[in-house]
Amino acid sequence: MNTQTMKENINLTNMKEKSIAEIHAEHKQTIGEPFCDNVKFSTRNVDVFYADNQAIYDVSLDIGKNEVIALIGPSGCGKSTFLRCLNRMNDTIDICKVTGDLELDGTNIYSKNQDPVLLRARVGMVFQKPNPFPKSIYDNVAYGPRIHGLTKNKAELDELVEDSLRKAGLFEEVKDRLNSPGTGLSGGQQQRLCIARTIAVQPEVILMDEPASALDPIATAKIEELISDLSKNYTIVIVTHSMQQAARVSQRTAYFHLGKLIEVGETNQIFTHPRHELTERYITGRFG
């Protein structure tokens, strides 16, 4: 085949394919299985606005108990915004407005009676960049339990701190220097410290916003391993840019595109047989 015909072929395919913007504009209904049994979190018709800009359009999604669900999609698609709705972290942004029904165990988390502080104790969060407090490793983990009065005495607190650090797979590395500052740890250790800090509050759901994006491959592998361990006891919602990571750690995957929830399904199915054209294009790496 000479180059001339190759060019023509490409032109032809381009003409056949609709542009991404067109497909996105036509998209109305999430395809796949956004709803599930044994629901922990249920969200219906969620819209999010930053001042006049709409960031999320009519998203409805269930999150099951003890499942790991991955939110994927290109940058700016609203997956982090959606995640931050789940523990009302968006409340800290003045111009942000959330509408729709978001229920945790059947109670509306945006109702007037809901104390966002209590909600955040039940729905913990791990951030993109490790953000340990400028305190000792011990104080970092003990921060939450102290605030919520989870332990009666020092011995119980010690135990809880050790237990949380163990669950985060960090205890063996730091047991001799619990009193040295948490900011002195390596990036991966810091992130595991942040996870330990979150576990120490004994939440029911853990939200993770690209928890491994600032880490090297080895640290990433440790975090992923940790997520698999944690999924036995916690419901985990993870936002990730890495499709391999989503494939490795999650049972279900939701694909977001420019504020719309395009497709939800079993992780295996999403990655092997995506049903929506946008999902397919994203997964095969044609954009994003």
Partner 1 sequence: MSITAIIFVLLLLAAYSYFIKRQKVYALYRTQSIKKSKIKQTLPKYFGYVAALWSLVPALLVLIVIQIIDEPLVKSSLADYIQSEKIVIGDAADDFDLYMNEIKNMSIDELESADPEKIKVFNQYQKFQSISNYAMTIIVLAMAILMTAFGMKKVKINTPARVIFEKFIEIILLLAASIAVLTTVGIVLSVLFESIRFFGEIPFTDFMFGLEWSPQTAIRSDQVGSSSAFGAVPLFVGTMLISLVALFIAVPLGLMSAIFLSEYASSRFRSIAKPVLEILAGIPTVVYGFFAALTVAPFIRDLGESLGMSVASESALAAGLVMGIMIIPFVSSLSDDVLSAVPTAMREGSLGLGATQSETIVKVLIPAALPGIVGGVLLAASRAIGETMIVVMAAGLAANLTVNPLQAVTTVTVQIVTLLTGDQEFDSAKTLAAFALGLMLFVTTLILNVIALHVVRKYREEYE
Judged by the rule CB under 8 A, the positions of this chain that interact with partner 1 are 87, 89, 92, 94, 117-122, 124-125, 127, 129, 131-135, 143-144, 147-148, 181, 183, 194, 197-198, 201
Q: To the nearest whole angstrom, how small is the minimum distance from the Cβ of residue 231 to partner 1? A: 20
Closer CB to partner 1, 129 or 248, in the complex: 129
Closer CB to partner 1, 63 or 199, in the complex: 199
- Alpha helices, H only, the chain: 3-16, 20-26, 79-86, 116-122, 137-148, 154-167, 171-174, 187-200, 217-230, 243-249, 267-272, 277-283
Rg of the Cα trace of the chain? Answer: 21
Closer CB to partner 1, 35 or 143, in the complex: 143
CA–CA distance, 249 with 221 (Å, rounded to integer): 10
User: Beta strand pairing status for 53-64 and 235-239?
Assistant: unpaired
Q: To the nearest whole angstrom, how small is the minimum distance from the Cβ of residue 186 to partner 1? A: 13
Closest listed residue to residue 286, CA positions, set 263, 257, 253: 257
Q: To the nearest whole angstrom, how small is the minimum distance from the Cβ of residue 120 to partner 1? A: 4
Closer CB to partner 1, 68 or 121, in the complex: 121
Q: To the nearest whole angstrom, how small is the minimum distance from the Cβ of residue 112 to partner 1? A: 17
